[in-house]
Amino acid sequence: MPIPIPGPRWTRRLSLLVVALALLASACSGDSGGSSGSGPTSGDAATETTTPDGPESPMAVVGADGSMRLVHPGDSAADRRLSTAGATASQPAFSPDGTRLAWSEIDADGNAFLAVSVIGGRGSGETRLVSVPFVSFYNGWDPTSTRVAMLGNSPGGVGLAFVEVGDPTGPLTAVEASEVVFAGRPLYVDWRSDGEGLIVHTDGVVLSVGLDGAHTLVSETDSAFQSPVRMADGSVLLVQPSEGGAADELVRIDASGDVEVVATLAGPVYLVGDPDRERLAVVVLPSRGPGTSDPDAVQVVYRSSGPREPATGAMTVPTLEVGVHVYDPVSGDVTPLIGGARVAAFWSPTGDRLLTLALDRTGTPASARWEVWAVPVAAEFPSTPTDRTEPFTPTATVTSAILPFFDQYADSMTPWSPDGTAFLYAALDSEGRPAIRVRTVVDDAGGPDPGEDPVAGEGVHAVWSPTAG
């Protein structure tokens, strides 16, 4: 019997989003996969697998039985199980260069491991199990593909530990896990560009934490956000209270420590950097929780060309209302992309599209809908998505373990194919059975309906490799 994986204790989450997702999760009764708070069940029949067109790069798929599989869309003969028989697997993460896959495992005796497998084309790859100090509910590779940062429940709150994997081109001969080097509550992280440490948000401060746990202060903050974002120029984007505490502000702290106020925020936010760390998606939630989204009536709420200079000579900054905005640190532009609440955002690998999730709580059961938006924003307003799925019910694994922390996962996993022409998502079919579907992106949401998105296989959660192969 697979061992249930404990749910993360990332406290002080953006509770407004959590409430909305909880309502959606109440309709998700068709899975209880290994990465959710409850244990997986066996015997859930999958919907019939079809052969998706488009990219054939591998996916890592978590099954309802707690297994981890490597799946190749369009070539099921190349699929293989990666996880240990009888173990519960979760939290897959491909290395940035696509050569390796890491995931969490708990064996039948409750022992925790990080598994690392070489993804060598479509052949069988070497796999190593490394004993780790906790069950990791987040695995994130460093930019050099040589080590994995893990987060998990530990004494003192959420613990941080590392697994050293070594040269990405060599064999798995030097895989070694550290002890817990840092702990706090909450704990959200982003890798430094050199891979020698992390930017950490915990307990009212943002720190730069080294591999040995030594840390220096970046900023104090007590605002409603989760993950800070390290940009390509070495600056850090985070949220701080304004002077007087009347509102939160998005701020940029450069490598020398100088602070620039980018915008005032109308609500709690999630921050997501693009693949090159040159732009930032700012997802602003309403103060009283996400409202119903009408995908056919999206309104732009603000457009700015950076800070404005009033006649008095005082510098003012834009106020970002509920919706999704794109910030360019080089130009200073803050451009609204979407009006209305969205509960997830993932940049395409090419950085020219943003995938967002809208909730609709008016129906029974509640449903969700993925939308694709062109970036940069078109000149015509109001803006509309270029593509969107039909309404669907996500799996409980996704709504409970992934979406509340999507800003953290957006840097360690992707639903996008490497060329940005398709994305995957986990959904329940009409009988409540979980499956991984693949959507080939169309350029015009008003064009011909491509039909039902094909099924790549059974599963409660999946991520796509960042490289073709």
Nearest to 357 by CA among 335, 340, 381: 340
CA–CA dist 25, 13 (Å, integer)? 17
- Cα 389 to its chain centre, rounded Å, is 19
For residue 53, the model assigns a pLDDT of 45
Burial of 287 (0-12, 13-18, 19+ CB in 10 A): exposed
Q: Quick check: 432 pLDDT over 80? A: yes
For residue 192, the model assigns a pLDDT of 95
Strands 323-327 and 280-284: antiparallel
The torsion angles phi and psi of 377, rounded to 5 degrees, stand at: -65, 140
Q: Quick check: 405 pLDDT over 60? A: yes
Q: In a 3-state reduction of DSSP, which class is residue 442?
A: coil
Q: Calculate Rg over the CA atoms of the chain.
A: 21
Nearest to 250 by CA among 348, 332, 355: 332
Q: What is the mean pLDDT of the chain?
A: 82
User: Hey, what are 402's tokens?
Assistant: 């992934």
Q: Quick check: 299 pLDDT over 60? A: no
Kindly report which listed range (161-165, 366-370, 409-413) carries the lowest average pLDDT score: 366-370
CA–CA dist 249, 241 (Å, integer)? 6
Kindly report which listed range (2-11, 65-74, 316-325) carries the lowest average pLDDT score: 2-11
**DSSP class of 47:** P
Nearest to 134 by CA among 289, 5, 283: 5
CA–CA dist 342, 339 (Å, integer)? 9
For residue 325, the model assigns a pLDDT of 94
Of the pLDDT bands very low, low, confident and very high (cuts 50, 70, 90), residue 84 is very high
Of the pLDDT bands very low, low, confident and very high (cuts 50, 70, 90), residue 33 is low
For residue 44, the model assigns a pLDDT of 37
What is the reported pTM? 0.85
Q: Quick check: 280 pLDDT over 60? A: yes
Of the pLDDT bands very low, low, confident and very high (cuts 50, 70, 90), residue 95 is very high
Nearest to 261 by CA among 216, 325, 208, 306: 306
For residue 160, the model assigns a pLDDT of 97
The number of C-alpha atoms within 13 Å of 256 and in the hemisphere containing its C-beta is 2
For residue 446, the model assigns a pLDDT of 60
Asked if 187 contacts 202 with a C-beta cutoff of 8 angstroms, the reply is yes
Nearest to 434 by CA among 393, 404, 390: 393
Domains contained in the chain, CATH given: 15-464 (2.130.10.120)
Q: Quick check: 115 pLDDT over 70? A: yes
- pLDDT: which is higher, 341 or 50: 341
Kindly report which listed range (7-16, 129-138, 175-184, 199-208) carries the lowest average pLDDT score: 7-16
